[in-house]
Amino acid sequence: MLFQVEMHVRVPDTVDPARFDALKAEEKARAEALQKSGKWRHLWRHAGQYANTSIFDVESNAELHELLVGLPLFPFMEIRVTPLCRHPSSIHADDR
């Protein structure tokens, strides 16, 4: 199952910068591992924003939920999820 996920990171003024840097490093490692596993298929930065658009390929809504709530920066994110299905005009066999 494919999902488009938009993540907007909101950094509160109250967060300790060193703690936030550590969380960012953990987030990077987690994002890289999930990309290598094939679950996090695409990751794009929104130009000029602390936000991304990602494509996840997971077995279920529940799996997506668990992946997202497990992200180190989850407490600082606003997340929007759009379920995707194959477009009849797509030429990509793996769009499912």
Find, among 56, 59, 52, the residue nearest to 68 by Cα. 56
**Would you count residue 7 as binding ligand MUC (CB under 6 A)?**
yes
Site for ligand MUC in 52-71 (CB under 6 A): 52
Q: Where does 1-93 have alpha helices with state H? A: 17-37, 61-69
CB 37 to ligand MUC: min, Å? 14
**Would you count residue 80 as binding ligand MUC (CB under 6 A)?**
no
Site for ligand MUC in 29-48 (CB under 6 A): 31
Minimum CB distance to ligand MUC smaller for 46 or for 86: 46
CA distance 49 to 53: 11
- Compute the C-alpha angle 91/95/96, nearest 5°: 135
Residues in the site for ligand MUC, rule: CB under 6 A? 7, 9, 27-28, 31, 52, 73
